[in-house]
Structure 1
Amino acid sequence: MMKKSLSILALSIGLLLPLSTFAKNNVVVVATGGTIAGAGANSTNSATYTAAKVPVDDLLNAVPQIQNLANVTGVQALQIASESITDKELISIARQINDLLKKPDINGVVITHGTDTLEETAFFLSLVVKSNKPIVLVGSMRPPSALSADGPLNLYSAVALAASDSAKGKGVMVLMNDSIFAARDVSKTINIHTNAFVSQWGALGMMVEGKPYWFRNVAKRFNAASEFNIEEIKGDSLPLVQIVYGSGNMVPDAYEAYAKAGAKAIIHAGTGNGSVAKYIVPTLTKLQNDGVQIIRSSRVPHGFILRNAEQPDDKYGWVVAHDLNPQKAKLLAALALTKTKDPAEIQRMFWEY
């Protein structure tokens, strides 16, 4: 009877205590630069500014409310505008994130990142980091120095998401403008507005006042279910893959130049269904025969590539990128080439990821 009374008393006391009394999850903010760490000449400069100026401690101190969400610490991994990220930086970020998430006392990670290539870093991390813990990439379209800067709320929401137990197993996510996106299908589609990121398949969910609301899951393989692993990547580079943008009145020189430069695969960002002009076909079939993988993607932002439509992919040994845009197809192709040169096997990977 005494034990039961004590249990009831303890429960009653717990209900009266503020939430901050209980243990909070531990979240690390890994800063890499970008607009969210940028600075303009004055508060009216929302589109003209210098990226990657504000260090991680200043970013965190500017949003003190995040400490109510989790025990938040910061790491300055890079200080760079994201368009300048190469394989070296991408692999370095992945290794740092992987090492952090292996620590049992770390519950989630937020990565502040420039928006120009945020979707590529997010997708790469979803392929190579073997963890079910929340990984959230966040950026901003306006620098912290601007009127109505979107970075502080984005960062607050990203930390809340990374600290949420409901975010476990959701894969790498991008948090922008209150929306939670899956890394594999989010894209930057506007270069000015704060609602710059969209997914043709819809958001995973939304953040409202620090709480996530979920609407769908990812149907493809990612993170813990991925066959790729950052710990198996040697050195600081990947097999060279390049993109050629499709249009009217093309010449074969770009494809040939990339092959000469050592490209192991070329992403053809074709018109429509990844179409290839009939006068370019001989060049691509020759390159395929020479060992350069040809992967048909599309310059069209929505939809997906149908295999053996427009071109006889089976006959030529070409790969189709499914619904991955050219820049994401480039990353998956590079990782695929670390394991195989078989077009059929590479095609399997594009179906599964």
Structure 2
Amino acid sequence: MNAGKPTISIVATGGSIAGVGPDRLDYILYPELGEHITIEQSLERIPESEFLAQVEPEDLISVGSTAIGPEEWLKLTKRINSLLANDQIDGVVVTHGTATLEETAYFLHLTVKSEKPVVLTGAMRPPTAIGTDADLNLLDAIRVAASPISFGKGVLTILNNEIQCARDVVKTNTFRVETFKPNELGFLGYADSDGEVVFYRAPLRRHTTTTEFQVDEMNTLPRVDIVYCYAGSDELLINAVRSNHSDGLVLAGFGGGSFPPKAIEAAAQAVAEGIPVVLASRSIAGRVVMTPRKEEQQFIASDNLQPQKARILLMLALTATRDRKAIQRMFGEY
């Protein structure tokens, strides 16, 4: 931490936190308009941030988060790693749309190579709307990134005053400001009403500097697809993944790891053809664990990662190895 106020880089990517609606009562049309204010304009709305940190803002991209994927993840990771390699930078805030915020956060959680704070935030209501959460969420993100107690906790998210671990956080509601939840595990702490940053828990799974993933020299990532199971689902979509020769597959099944017979048979065929298959659950909480039958079929169990998070871990695992046991180890450690 530098003497005096910390220096926080703010990397903006667009999203609702920068969205422009047609009027003050618009909460749904602004994504279709696609207009965004700059990060400098966002900061002009919260002059109180000057008391928290010296901020250095930049607009890296300006899109809705539905347009963010592996290409943008790599670009963002490289930029953050470059910023945090500078001894004068104490932390990074990323502004991001909420649709895929949890996925970007987990990718960064596994690929950022610094213990300095990296904090993602967004908004459920654009800054042009009555009752917007954009201003407070951005202020809270700066507050959390500037706090020395955020050091070493991996990538964090902050919305609705709640600090979450990037591994566990998931969007649970389409419009409410309390949408981001950690399922049954509990959030980490608060950016609270008295201006304090307070932690009650810390992540235990490997992240940031302790991971084996190095992506700064990469321009592409392995393709991993997700197939969602439902009553009566069969081999159709899995066969599409097989015929596409995708690098990996995540199969989102029922409960603790059961699947329609035709779907699991097709998934086993994919494994036989050399496509790693991770078994996940469409349930919102709980683990998928290994069984003798799954072991015999050479599947990989997702532990408690949501399918969209399991996809990210499998993508990164495949940059390092295709050995099933090594990948299963990663799902137990990350």
Structure 2 length-normalised TM: 0.96
Choose from 12, 16, 29 the match for 1:48: 29
Q: Which residue does the alignment assign to 2:121?
A: 138
Alignment of 1:143-182 (within 5 A): 143-182=126-165
- 1:209-234 per-position Cα deviation (integer Å, ceiling 9, x unaligned): 43211111111000011111232x42
Choose from 195, 220, 229 the match for 2:214: 229
Q: Which residue does the alignment assign to 2:202?
A: 217
Q: Does the CA-based 8 Å contact 2:118-2:145 persist in structure 1?
A: yes
CA distance in structure 1 between the aligned counterparts of 2:11 and 2:195, rounded to whole angstroms: 20
Q: Which residue does the alignment assign to 2:322?
A: 341
Name the SS for the 1:338 alignment partner.
coil
Choose from 98, 105, 116 the match for 1:115: 98
Q: Which residue does the alignment assign to 1:19?
A: none
Name the SS for the 2:278 alignment partner.
strand
CA distance in structure 1 between the aligned counterparts of 2:5 and 2:17, rounded to whole angstroms: 25
How far 1:52 sits from its partner (Å)? Answer: 5.3
Q: Does the CA-based 8 Å contact 1:268-1:274 persist in structure 2?
A: no
Choose from 306, 327, 330 the match for 2:311: 330
| 2:188 partner amino acid | L
How far 1:264 sits from its partner (Å)? Answer: 1.3
CA distance in structure 2 between the aligned counterparts of 1:339 and 1:173, rounded to whole angstroms: 25
CA distance in structure 2 between the aligned counterparts of 1:319 and 1:185, rounded to whole angstroms: 19
Extract structure 1 runs of 4+ deviating beyond 4 A. none
Q: Which residue does the alignment assign to 1:276?
A: 259
Residue 31 in structure 1 maps to residue 12 in structure 2:
yes
Name whichever of 195-204 and 281-290 sits farther off.
281-290
Residue 193 in structure 1 maps to residue 150 in structure 2:
no
Give the structure with higher Rg (CA).
1
Q: Which residue does the alignment assign to 2:189?
A: 205
Q: Which residue does the alignment assign to 1:261?
A: 244
CA distance in structure 2 between the aligned counterparts of 1:183 and 1:34, rounded to whole angstroms: 18
Q: Does the CA-based 8 Å contact 1:126-1:183 persist in structure 2?
A: yes
How far 1:262 sits from its partner (Å)? Answer: 2.7
Q: Which residue does the alignment assign to 1:14?
A: none
| 1:320 partner amino acid | A
| 1:191 partner amino acid | T
Alignment of 1:292-331 (within 5 A): 292-308=275-291, 312-331=293-312
Distance 1:73 1:64, change over 3 A: same
Q: Which residue does the alignment assign to 2:74?
A: 91
CA distance in structure 2 between the aligned counterparts of 1:189 and 1:143, rounded to whole angstroms: 18
CA distance in structure 2 between the aligned counterparts of 1:313 and 1:340, rounded to whole angstroms: 20
CA distance in structure 1 between the aligned counterparts of 2:215 and 2:157, rounded to whole angstroms: 20
Q: Does the CA-based 8 Å contact 1:29-1:109 persist in structure 2?
A: yes
Residue 242 in structure 1 maps to residue 225 in structure 2:
yes
Name the SS for the 1:340 alignment partner.
coil
Q: Does the CA-based 8 Å contact 2:234-2:260 persist in structure 1?
A: no
Name the SS for the 1:280 alignment partner.
helix
Gaps of 5+ in 2: none
Q: Does the CA-based 8 Å contact 1:114-1:140 persist in structure 2?
A: yes
Q: Does the CA-based 8 Å contact 1:161-1:210 persist in structure 2?
A: no
Q: Does the CA-based 8 Å contact 2:234-2:261 persist in structure 1?
A: no
Name the SS for the 1:75 alignment partner.
strand
| 1:82 partner amino acid | S
Name the SS for the 1:77 alignment partner.
strand
Q: Does the CA-based 8 Å contact 1:129-1:230 persist in structure 2?
A: no
- 1:149-169 per-position Cα deviation (integer Å, ceiling 9, x unaligned): 001000001001100111100
How far 1:47 sits from its partner (Å)? Answer: 2.9
CA distance in structure 1 between the aligned counterparts of 2:152 and 2:308, rounded to whole angstroms: 25
Structure 1 length-normalised TM: 0.91
Alignment of 1:51-90 (within 5 A): 51=34, 53-90=36-73
| Count of residues in correspondence between the two structures | 328
| 2:303 partner amino acid | H
CA distance in structure 2 between the aligned counterparts of 1:88 and 1:132, rounded to whole angstroms: 24
Name the SS for the 1:228 alignment partner.
coil
Distance 1:307 1:135, change over 3 A: same
